[in-house]
């Protein structure tokens, strides 16, 4: 991944933006979705994030990766949207937008896997924001605890504590629903 500065030609600038969108677009949309629970609103936030990042790339100091920087902008922008109140007037979708494809096998296994995965993500979405955002960044976007801390502007230990408490809350919620808990691996 190139980390060139904005003194490139406009064509090179556009190519850099396209590269970011291709590499990190899914992560940005998933994180935005974890806040707003509406796929179309998440796409709008993602567009805004990439536009802001491109406009302010000259200010990027390189203390983190591009991915971490983009996810930090995403978290802040999604919180702004939630604070604005406009999101509350829109209907949330049920998460089908992020259903991952499963390798074909026994249809009964496919259904059972999908139901279990859906139950876990519904339970994660029901967690308080403090725990939900670290769970989404850590598990949904495959970030390290250090990268999650950078995105959220908190200490590494705080991330680990929130992950631990979030897992406990998730386990209780799934047990209440008749689930089997979660693997802590």
Tokens 């029901």 belong to residue: 126
Q: At what angle do helices 66-84 and 10-36 cross, to 10 degrees?
A: 50
Q: What is the mean pLDDT of residues 102-116?
A: 63
∠ Cα 168 170 176 (to 5°): 105
Q: Is the pLDDT of residue 158 over 70?
A: yes
Q: How far does Cα 171 stand from its chain's mean position?
A: 21
User: Which among 131, 112, 140 has a CA at the least distance from the CA of 173?
Assistant: 131
One CATH from 3.90.180.10, 1.10.1740.10, 3.40.50.1360, 3.40.50.720 for 8-95:
1.10.1740.10
Calpha distance 98→33 (Å, rounded): 9
For residue 116, which phi and psi values (nearest 5 degrees)? -65, -45
Give start-end residues of each CATH 1.10.10.10 domain in the chain.
Answer: 102-185
- Specify the pLDDT at position 94: 46
- Specify the pLDDT at position 8: 59
- Specify the pLDDT at position 11: 64
Q: What is the pLDDT of residues 48-98, one digit of tens each?
A: 999 888 888 878 887 888 899 999 999 989 888 888 765 444 444 444 444
Q: What is the mean pLDDT of residues 131-142?
A: 86
Give start-end residues of each CATH 1.10.1740.10 domain in the chain.
Answer: 8-95
List the structure tokens of 65: 């990766």
What is the value of pTM for the model shown? 0.59
- Specify the pLDDT at position 175: 84
- Helices marked H in 37-106: 39-55, 66-84
List the structure tokens of 174: 């799934």
User: In the structure, what pLDDT confidence band is assigned to residue 105 with cuts at 50, 70 and 90?
Assistant: low
Between residues 97 and 156, which one has the greater pLDDT? 156
Listed as own residue / partner, the contacts of 165-174 with beta carbons closer than 8 Å and 24 or more positions apart are: 165/131, 166/124, 166/127, 166/131, 166/132, 166/134, 166/135, 167/135, 169/127, 169/131, 170/120, 170/123, 170/124, 170/127, 170/135, 173/123, 173/126, 173/127, 174/119, 174/120, 174/123
- Helices marked H in 85-155: 107-126, 129-135, 145-152
CATH class of 102-185: mainly alpha
Q: How far apart, in Å, do the first and last CA atoms of the chain sit?
A: 30
């Amino acid at each position: 991944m190139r980390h060139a500065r904005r003194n490139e030609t406009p064509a090179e600038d556009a190519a850099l933006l396209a590269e970011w969108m291709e590499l990190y677009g899914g992560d940005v949309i998933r994180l935005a979705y974890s806040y707003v629970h509406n796929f179309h609103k998440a796409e709008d936030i993602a567009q805004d994030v990439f536009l802001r990042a491109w406009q302010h790339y000259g200010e990027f100091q390189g203390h983190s990766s591009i991915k971490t920087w983009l996810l930090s902008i995403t978290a802040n922008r999604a919180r702004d949207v939630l604070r604005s109140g406009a999101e509350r007037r829109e209907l949330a979708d049920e998460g089908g937008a992020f259903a991952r494809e499963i390798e074909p096998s026994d249809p009964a296994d496919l259904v059972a896997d999908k139901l279990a995965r859906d139950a876990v993500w519904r339970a994660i979405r029901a967690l308080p924001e403090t725990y939900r955002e670290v769970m989404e960044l850590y598990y949904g976007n495959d970030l390290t605890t250090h990268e999650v801390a950078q995105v959220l502007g908190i200490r590494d230990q705080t991330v680990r504590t929130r992950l631990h408490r979030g897992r406990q809350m998730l386990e209780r919620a799934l047990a209440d629903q008749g689930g089997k808990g979660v693997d802590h691996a």
